[in-house]
Amino acid sequence: MLAKDVPRPCSGAGRHGAPVARLWSVGVAGGPRRGGAGGRLVAADAGERMTRSEAVPVVAVAAGKQPVNGSAMAALYNTRFILSRSSPYKPELPGIDKLVSSTVGKSTNILWHDCPIGQFERQKLLNQKGCVVWITGLSGSGKSTLACALSRELHSRGHLTYILDGDNLRHGLNRDLCFEAKDRAENIRRVGISSKLFADAGLICIASLISPYRSERSACRKLLHNSTFIEVFLDVPLEVCEARDPKGLYKLARAGKIKGFTGIDDPYEPPSDCEIVIQCKAGDCATPKSMADQVVSYLEANEFLQD
């Protein structure tokens, strides 16, 4: 983004005897590092103010045909570029000679911008390691209950958490999705991306949703470093969940009023390689506090709760 311009007069002549232009700071992807400065633009015509549309494209460059990212942009720090109204800019950096835009999905002409404050700095500030605790299980297995108990326990110990509850997200972020297969897959994808952002912010993100298919949970796991995705499976038999039926959904599904209900006419695929399994049998279920303690013990043992 073009910073607020503060022109500074210069003395002497510029290139090829042209008047020396005024300088304006620009935000280069990645931002200036500690003790350094961002890139600068030089307007070819002295005294002319560069417009945003003229200035912004100059930072969208990369070596060869590679997309611009933090690694490519790091080479642009403390580098000057010449930008003229009458001719294309020529960066004073060998090998960087093209404007580069990226296409991701349906988005075109986009550029990734890094920030000098990253996950490491945020984790140090919060004194914890960002991660995703993904709680999966049948409807009525106690996912939301565990999520709240875990958040409460971690909060009492001074750790910052945030819960992404499946039903709650359908009140906002995912309100445009129904329960058909395609939309359910998109629901999980959005939660996976959101949980990744929370973990990158240094928080302990607790995602609580049925997420019935292994492939979709696996896709969410791949978004993060494997060790920071902690899958918790609430292994509760269908008959126990149906007996609880806290939302009355099993009754509606059995009556044929809800189609594609997990456990009734749609499958649930138990995890095969999850980090934590919490079992519950009829008449023998752990308390929410006890379940939360199991997860906290795992987080402590794996140094997510730093001192």
Copy the structure tokens of residue 34. 């500690």
Residue 150: count other Cβ atoms within 10 Å of its Cβ: 27
Could you tell me if 250 and 171 are in contact, meaning their C-beta atoms sit under 8 angstroms apart? no
pLDDT of residue 144: 97
Mean pLDDT confidence for 269-284? 93
Mean pLDDT confidence for 61-85? 40
pLDDT above 70: residue 135: yes
**Distances 242 to 9, 236, 257, 262, 291 between C-alpha atoms, Å:** 76, 10, 16, 11, 20
pTM metric for this prediction: 0.68
Could you tell me if 231 and 217 are in contact, meaning their C-beta atoms sit under 8 angstroms apart? yes
Distance (Å, whole) CA 177 – CA 301: 38
Q: Which residue has the tokens 């058909």?
A: 180
E strands present in 228-280: 229-235, 276-279
Could you tell me if 3 and 27 are in contact, meaning their C-beta atoms sit under 8 angstroms apart? yes
The stretches of 132-211 forming alpha helices (DSSP H) are 143-156, 166-169, 181-200
pLDDT confidence band for 307 (50 / 70 / 90): low
pLDDT of residue 98: 56
Question: For the segment 12-65, what is each residue's pLDDT rounded down to a tens digit?
Answer: 444 444 443 333 333 444 444 334 444 433 333 334 444 444 444 433 443 344
CB burial readout 100-112, b (16+ within 10 A) else e: beeeeeeeeeebe
pLDDT of residue 29: 40
Question: For the segment 80-123, what is each residue's pLDDT rounded down to a tens digit?
Answer: 333 333 444 444 444 444 557 788 888 988 888 888 999 999 99
Distance (Å, whole) CA 306 – CA 158: 11
Distance (Å, whole) CA 21 – CA 4: 17
| Percent of the chain scoring above 90 in pLDDT | 58
Of the listed ranges 80-84, 202-206, 226-230, the least confidently predicted one is: 80-84
Q: Which residues pair with 63 in a beta bridge?
A: 96
Positions annotated as catalytic residues are 211
Copy the structure tokens of residue 147. 């999520």
pLDDT of residue 99: 57
pLDDT of residue 114: 84
pLDDT above 90: residue 302: yes
Could you tell me if 46 and 33 are in contact, meaning their C-beta atoms sit under 8 angstroms apart? no
Distance (Å, whole) CA 6 – CA 10: 13
Copy the structure tokens of residue 143. 């996912």
pLDDT confidence band for 287 (50 / 70 / 90): very high
Nearest one of 169, 297, 226 to 217, comparing CA atoms: 226
Output DSSP code: residue 56: G
